[in-house]
Amino acid sequence: MLELVDLNVYYGAIHALKGINIKVNQGEIVTLIGANGAGKTTTLKTISGALKPKKGKVLFQGGELEKVKAHDIVGLGIAHVPEGRKVFMNMSVMENLEMGAYSRKDKGEIKKDYEKIFETFPRLLERKNQMAGTLSGGEQQMLAIGRALMARPKLLLLDEPSMGLAPLIVKQIFSIIEDINEKGTTVLLVEQNASMALKIAHRAYVIQNGVVELEGNAEVLLNDENVRYAYLGA
């Protein structure tokens, strides 16, 4: 579904991605793990078009994305839940979800999708008219994911959904991610919480200083001594 080929991305003189090669197959959950500053967020931003690579390609279902404008990339089926959630604080839960569907015109289907989102996140239904800025961190994360799903993405990019959340809420969010994937959405998940991410992912890439250090089956990496020592605090 997605292939990053020799991706090189700069911030001015800073060479943040130094030739990243990553593949995501349809139906998978793939996770990118690695230390702070490794280049995980930069990778997601390049896929969704916020950053453009100096060299390399972003192939999505065979097409080249690096020349497509960010707002057109959503229409092709990629939705990005950014780090720090970034919901519209002064809008209600419902209005945030409506923003997620802005590029769609199929009104009947949009209505069905609101119902699906509220089935997945009953908490959002209870708080439908509440301002997003007054939701808890976990509820805001649910809203950010719900809003992204309103675009009916084929590929969902999630940047650190566990950030700043209590362990019980993190568990809940990860189980929802698994559920979303089982219902047919492919997921590319960036996480600091490597152990949780490796438990739900099919495959994983370890990113270090802008390059892929290690890749493989998530379960194998979860039990790999070097990964356990470097990233899982074991």
Interface positions with ligand ATP (CB under 6 A):
11, 14, 16, 34, 36-42, 192
**Token duo for residue 193:** 């919480």
- Bridge partners of 79, per DSSP, are 156
Least distance CB 126 / ligand ATP (angstroms): 32
Least distance CB 213 / ligand ATP (angstroms): 12
Rounded (10°) CA dihedral 225, 226, 229, 231: -120
Q: Which is nearer to ligand ATP, 12 or 108 (CB)?
A: 12
Q: Which is nearer to ligand ATP, 61 or 192 (CB)?
A: 192
**Token duo for residue 28:** 């998978």
Least distance CB 11 / ligand ATP (angstroms): 3
Q: Which is nearer to ligand ATP, 39 or 100 (CB)?
A: 39
CA distances 37 to 63, 83, 187, 214, 234, Å, are 29, 13, 22, 17, 21
C-alpha 104/C-alpha 157 separation (Å) is 19
Least distance CB 33 / ligand ATP (angstroms): 9
Least distance CB 47 / ligand ATP (angstroms): 12
HSE-CB of 18 using CA atoms within 13 angstroms:
12
Q: Which residues does 63 contact at the CB level (< 8 Å), separation at least 6?
A: 76
Q: Which is nearer to ligand ATP, 14 or 234 (CB)?
A: 14
Q: Which is nearer to ligand ATP, 51 or 117 (CB)?
A: 51
Nearest C-alpha neighbor of 4 from the set 27, 28, 23, 18: 23
